């Protein structure tokens, strides 16, 4: 295996660990999105994450194509949308407000 492939594998492994430890899996509906916006979304207080393979669906049905690129980070096979973008923050607020009620 080349060094690049090893690095990619290591990054994906670390990102999976991060998702497992610090994120919760939610449905699009739970964060106020169209159910077609994704099958598996992951959230914490600061980010909404989706697998790269599902990014286009979230972008299209969730309107995340309008999230400024400076608030989008791709790490390995995951895409993270930062709450620094108002659209993302609104969806996180939707979830966490419902949870408090």
> What is the domain partition of the chain in residue ranges?
3-100
Does pLDDT of 82 surpass 80?
A: yes
The Cβ of residue 76 has, within 10 Å, a number of other Cβ atoms equal to 18
Rounded percentage of the chain residues whose pLDDT exceeds 70: 98
Instruction: Give dist(CA 13, CA 36) in Å, integer.
Output: 28
- Bigger pLDDT: 100 or 47? 47
Q: What is the pLDDT of residues 16-45, one digit of tens each?
A: 999 999 999 999 999 999 999 988 999 999
Does pLDDT of 1 surpass 90?
A: no
CA torsion sign, 73 to 87 to 47 to 91? negative
């Amino acid at each position: 295996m080349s060094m690049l492939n090893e690095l990619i594998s290591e990054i994906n492994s670390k990102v999976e660990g991060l998702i497992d430890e610090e994120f919760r899996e939610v449905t699009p509906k739970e964060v106020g999105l169209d159910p077609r916006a994704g099958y598996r979304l992951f959230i914490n207080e600061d980010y909404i994450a989706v697998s790269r393979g599902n990014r286009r669906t979230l972008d299209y049905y969730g309107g995340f194509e309008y999230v400024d690129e400076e608030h989008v980070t791709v790490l390995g096979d995951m895409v993270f949308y930062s709450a620094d973008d108002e659209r993302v923050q609104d969806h996180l607020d939707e979830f966490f407000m419902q949870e408090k009620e």
